[in-house]
Chains A and B, each alone.
Chain A
Amino acid sequence: MKLSIVNYGAGNIKSIQFAFQRLGYDAILTDNPEEIRTSDKVIFPGVGEASSAMIKLRQSGLDQLIPTLKQPVLGICLGMQLMCKHSEEGDTQGLGIFDVNVKRFSNHVKVPQMGWNTISNLKSDLFKAINEKEYMYLVHSYYAEQCGESIATSDYELEYASALENDNFFGVQFHPEKSSKAGEQLLKNFLKL
């Protein structure tokens, strides 16, 4: 299986590569459109700030490529947020793959949300063999609103979409690569899609 991780200078992506390595898969880090297009599975990671990440995607033309991919694509954390319509972070236009906006948590809660929270209302094959209210590790200040494409929800100040699915595109707000055994199960499920 050819598995690629989109490399556009988005922080700690080694962790994702190592997580697949622990499952016995070699993932390549690449920004080459041809490599990405010909992969069986694509991981779209992201850590950092939305507007500067979008600038990097536009400079490399990856903003055009990603929405046209036909194989399963998994956005993680900021990667998922960039696949949405718009983010309040830096007033950023996203890739519009998911029909939902990204907003900031209010100051009624500590921001960023940092730590392990539960996921509920699980709806996709991505969550096969993962229980309702399983714990996943999250670090984020912005969230995708609850919407029709939501395949998991979490609670922090309000109920929000902690995973999204549209066609061959998947997005998770949490970090499966850092979420112990439950996270590993999710990555295995993604590889089987």
Chain B
Amino acid sequence: MLTKRIVPCLDIKNGRTVKGVNFVDLRDAGDPVVLAKQYADLGADELVFLDIAATLENRKTMHDMVLKVAEQVNIPFTVGGGISSVEDVDDLLHCGADKVSINSSAVKRPELINELSDKFGSQCVVVAIDAKEVDGEWLVHLAGGTIPTALNLFDWAKEVEQRGAGEILFTSMNHDGTKAGFANEALSKLSDLVNIPIIASGGAGTIQHFVDTFKDGKADAALAASVFHFGEIPILELKEELRIKGIPVRL
């Protein structure tokens, strides 16, 4: 049976993790490669690296990091942040990334999704969608949720699927950082609407939140950052609890 995935997300700036991580005694908690290996050993199913600076000068540093992660880590990983062209993706895949995640660049130029899917296959194209519920309507936001658009979340999700996205990473801006649970109602609606996997993001605070997002939100994977980085939720414990609750996980 296909299992539900647990996906830690690492924010990267200048080749280093930001926010800090203190879940284990690491000599260098800022080194994404060390962290990635640690997460792989602890039972993470996949990793996401988000380049939050994503400037041109940073690109080389990011490529070096991706290359090192690919060299040393034996689980799949996605790279996102500042990707806006076929060439960007070509470079990252050549460095050993398994998937790339695009966000604002897809909203600005939706054909990019078709181009990437045609050239590299939909399996490596993740479209990240940040959305906020405003007056009962879920609107897509850009630039880390700061710039609203007129685009409806569900319309956009359907469109990215049709254009060849292999997966959707949906972050609810209403829930992100609250640690009050995932946006399960919207997630469930998304999951019924499209026929590609959905990664839930934003709001993880407790183990029960993960149970809920897999059961009520029908998510295929759940992404979180701080609850993992700060050891609030050990991945092994989380997966054991999910299994007890009848959710298939890799243990």
Are A and B subunits of one complex? yes
Q: Which residues of A contact B (CB under 8 A)?
A: 11-12, 14-15, 18-19, 21-22, 47-49, 107, 110-118, 135, 137, 139-141, 155-156, 175, 177-181, 183-184
Say whether, besides A15-B96, A116-B5, A140 and B123 are in contact (CB < 8 Å).
yes
Q: Given the complex of chains A and B, what is the CA–CA distance between A19 and B166 in angstroms?
A: 24
Q: Given the complex of chains A and B, what is the CA–CA distance between A139 and B220 in angstroms?
A: 13
Asked if A107 and B195 make an inter-chain contact with CB atoms under 8 angstroms apart, the answer reads yes
| CB contact list, B158-188 vs A, under 8 A | 166-167
Asked if B76 and A47 make an inter-chain contact with CB atoms under 8 angstroms apart, the answer reads no
Q: Given the complex of chains A and B, what is the CA–CA distance between A36 and B195 in angstroms?
A: 40
With an 8 A cutoff between CB atoms, is B1 at the interface?
yes
Residues of chain A contacted by B4 (CB below 8 angstroms): 115
Residue-wise interface mask of B (55-71) relative to A, using a CB-CB cutoff of 8 A (1 in contact, 0 not)? 00000000000000011
**Additional A-B contacts beyond A115-B220, A117-B2, A135-B250 (19; CB < 8 A):** A11-B120, A11-B121, A11-B124, A12-B93, A12-B94, A12-B124, A15-B98, A18-B96, A47-B121, A48-B120, A114-B166, A114-B167, A115-B2, A115-B3, A115-B4, A117-B3, A118-B1, A155-B1, A184-B74
In-complex Cβ contact of B74 among A107, A139, A178 (8 A): A178
| CB contact list, B91-146 vs A, under 8 A | 93-98, 120-124
Residues of chain B contacted by A116 (CB below 8 angstroms): 2-3, 5, 45, 250
Say whether, besides A47-B124, A115-B2, A183-B74, A11 and B93 are in contact (CB < 8 Å).
yes
- Cβ distance B98 to chain A, nearest Cβ, rounded Å: 6
Residues of chain B contacted by A107 (CB below 8 angstroms): 195
11 A/B residue pairs, CB under 8 Å, sorted by A:
A14-B96, A22-B71, A47-B123, A112-B197, A113-B2, A114-B197, A116-B3, A139-B76, A141-B122, A180-B40, A180-B75
Residues of chain B contacted by A177 (CB below 8 angstroms): 74
Rank and list the top 6 A-B pairs by shortest CB-CB distance, nearest first. A135-B250, A14-B96, A116-B250, A48-B121, A139-B123, A178-B76
**Interface residue count on the B side (C-beta < 8 Å):** 33
Residues of chain A contacted by B70 (CB below 8 angstroms): 14-15, 18
Q: Given the complex of chains A and B, what is the CA–CA distance between A15 and B98 in angstroms?
A: 8
Q: Given the complex of chains A and B, what is the CA–CA distance between A111 and B71 in angstroms?
A: 29
Q: Given the complex of chains A and B, what is the CA–CA distance between A192 and B250 in angstroms?
A: 27
Residues of chain A contacted by B3 (CB below 8 angstroms): 115-117, 135
Residues of chain B contacted by A118 (CB below 8 angstroms): 1
Interface SS, B side: loop
Q: Given the complex of chains A and B, what is the CA–CA distance between A47 and B94 in angstroms?
A: 13
Q: Given the complex of chains A and B, what is the CA–CA distance between A116 and B221 in angstroms?
A: 11
Residues of chain A contacted by B94 (CB below 8 angstroms): 12, 14
Residues of chain B contacted by A115 (CB below 8 angstroms): 2-5, 45-46, 197, 220-221
Residue-wise interface mask of B (1-41) relative to A, using a CB-CB cutoff of 8 A (1 in contact, 0 not)? 11111000000000000000000000000000000000010
In-complex Cβ contact of A178 among B98, B120, B167, B197 (8 A): B98
Name the residue in B94, B95, B123 with the highest tally of chain A Cβ atoms < 10 Å from its Cβ. B123
Residues of chain A contacted by B247 (CB below 8 angstroms): none
Q: Given the complex of chains A and B, what is the CA–CA distance between A33 and B2 in angstroms?
A: 38
- Cβ distance B90 to chain A, nearest Cβ, rounded Å: 10
Residues of chain B contacted by A181 (CB below 8 angstroms): 74
Asked if B197 and A110 make an inter-chain contact with CB atoms under 8 angstroms apart, the answer reads yes
Residues of chain A contacted by B123 (CB below 8 angstroms): 47, 112, 114, 139-141
With an 8 A cutoff between CB atoms, is B72 at the interface?
yes
Residues of chain B contacted by A47 (CB below 8 angstroms): 120-121, 123-124
Q: Given the complex of chains A and B, what is the CA–CA distance between A188 and B221 in angstroms?
A: 30
Q: Given the complex of chains A and B, what is the CA–CA distance between A22 and B37 in angstroms?
A: 13
- Cβ distance B58 to chain A, nearest Cβ, rounded Å: 21
Of chain A, the residue at the smallest CB distance from B66 is A14
- Cβ distance A164 to chain B, nearest Cβ, rounded Å: 20
Of chain A, the residue at the smallest CB distance from B199 is A114
